[in-house]
Structure 1
Amino acid sequence: MFDSFFTTKPARQGTGLGLAMVRGFADKAEGRLLVRSEVGSGTTFMVRLPQSAPPSDGGVV
């Protein structure tokens, strides 16, 4: 599911890069990508990212 170019769509209706890219972003940010799926109810994806420390100069992040 997280492999690049994995898709369940017919040809020319998606590249299969979406979840692979999201997982890559989460990994680079030292976060996590969580998946919950129930047959007949659907699938939910949640991206959890660590909270960053406020800037030492008190500026806006």
Structure 2
Amino acid sequence: MKRCQSCGYPITGQAREVTPHSDATARPTLYLHETAEECAAAKRERIASPLRRHR
């Protein structure tokens, strides 16, 4: 499962891939939500989830 580098929540559907440039070492590919609205929606969904509130 891919996680958004910006918000830290799982990405469902399409993800935007970002490959960091590095001359010295290999770096892993970063994933972001396609839009800022998808990122905000993931945050709202996690806050509203009843399972998350009881932890």
Structure-1-length-normalised TM-score: 0.32
Which structure features the higher share of helix residues?
Answer: 2
Q: Which has the larger radius of gyration?
A: 1
Query: Higher strand fraction: Structure 1 or Structure 2?
Result: 1
TM-score of the superposed pair, with normalisation by structure 2: 0.34
